[in-house]
Amino acid sequence: EPLSNLDAKLRVDMRAELKRLHHETGTTIIYVTHDQVEALTMSTRIALYRKGELVQVAPPLELYDNPVNLYTADFIGNPSINFVKGTAQVEAGGMRVDSPLGQLGFERGDMTEAAPQSGSVDVTIGVRPEQLSISRQADDAHWVEGHVYSGMPAGSETLVSVRVGDTMLTVKELGSTHYASDEPVYLGFNPKKVNVFETKSENLIKYCV
């Protein structure tokens, strides 16, 4: 972990230098880190280990978009992915999921080989904070009602914690926007961009496409 003792600005500068060095030399570099941001920004392939066992090997975007299980999904990404509990009814043509995000339908073609063929199964929906959009008005694109728990403007972006029923969701919005505590808001997202995991096995059963 060669950058672990550097300050934040110097770490960013050194990431760029190491990427340039890798490109210019054409040499294979094995880089070991616990910092998933470094892994995502610097690598061409990532091997993720958990307790000494290899969990997934993939290019950075594939690892980010379609983690093979809940552990990988939770580990990769900053801020962390949102997890929402739900129940799925699986049929030959796909599955229907009921959750605090509403009722969502998914086609069989978007499902993984690990997905069950039929029946009812407990699932966990994974939706990245930047995949959620937020509005003060309900419309066709924003249909999930919630209430602001806290808003954290950070200049170029705003992180908003929104409570939907008993579920807390983090929304990442570009720009600086101020929200009041307990303010009603409405969330929207593209269902094709979410992951679905079987809760018991923790395995991915629906791709982000």
Place 114 in a pLDDT band, splitting at 50, 70 and 90. Answer: very high
Cis before 191? omega within 30: no
Round to whole Å and give the CA distance between 111 and 3: 39
Q: Does domain 82-127+191-206 have CATH number 2.40.50?
A: yes
Round to whole Å and give the CA distance between 128 and 134: 13
Residue 57, pLDDT above cutoff 90: yes
Round to whole Å and give the CA distance between 149 and 163: 6
Q: Rounded to a whole number, what is the distance in angstroms from the first to the last CA of the chain?
A: 33
Tokens of 179: 């929200």
Mind listing the pLDDT tens digit for each residue in 4-55?
889 989 999 999 999 999 999 999 999 999 888 899 999 999 999 999 999 9
Residue 2, pLDDT above cutoff 90: no
H-state helical runs in 45-171:
60-65, 70-75
Check if 8-67 and 133-188 are the same fold. Answer: no
Q: Which CATH number fits domain 8-67: 3.40.50.720, 3.40.50.300, 1.10.645.10, 3.60.15.10?
A: 3.40.50.300
Residue 104, pLDDT above cutoff 90: yes
What class has domain 133-188? mainly beta
Round to whole Å and give the CA distance between 110 and 87: 18
pLDDT of the residue at 98? 98
Round to whole Å and give the CA distance between 206 and 203: 9
Round to whole Å and give the CA distance between 191 and 176: 26
Round to whole Å and give the CA distance between 143 and 135: 9
Q: Where are the domains of the chain?
A: 8-67, 82-127+191-206, 133-188
